[in-house]
Amino acid sequence: MVETFTIRIYNSQTKKDIEESYKRCKDYYPSKNAFLMDCMVRGVFNVERDIFGIKNVKDIDELYAEIMKTTENLNSLIKLSERNAKENLAHLTVNQKLLSNNFNMLIGLSENKPKKIDTIESGFFDNLPARYKIILNDMLEVLKKGK
């Protein structure tokens, strides 16, 4: 089954580049459509290579360049992941304090002991209840053993 696609090129420089490239290569292609199809196929290969790392390496220098590029990409990913992990840790810490505060205040309210705003704001109720500390520590131990 043959499908047809319409591609709109809004960038005049891109259109000009395609036209100039076709003029230089038209002796190699039976039609402009064949040229554009080859460009798309080669473009898909380049997209797959850039996104998924699929590439046919021809010599050792090219292999080395690809390894260096991959290493740079991995280092960037590690830095980004580290920053994200630190941000997530900060958010989780604040959320844990907020939830502990709410829990402890609810316990206090159930005992009919009014809480003063100064006591709340000082962080008096921010500590994680003892049984939740045990659960947290147990979960952290399981994660450490999973390495």
- Supply the pLDDT for residue 71: 93
Alpha-helical regions (H) of 26-113: 32-52, 60-110
What contacts 120, CB < 8 A, 6 or more positions away?
Answer: 101, 105
The yes-or-no verdict on residue 82 having pLDDT over 80 is yes
* pTM for the predicted model, two decimal places: 0.43
Instruction: Count Cβ atoms within 10 A of the Cβ of residue 116 and give its class: 0-12 exposed, 13-18 middle, 19 or more buried.
Output: exposed
Domain ranges of the chain: 15-55
Question: Quick check: 23 pLDDT over 90?
Answer: yes
Helix axes 12-25, 32-52, angle to 10 degrees: 120
The answer to whether 120 and 105 have CB atoms below 8 angstroms apart is: yes
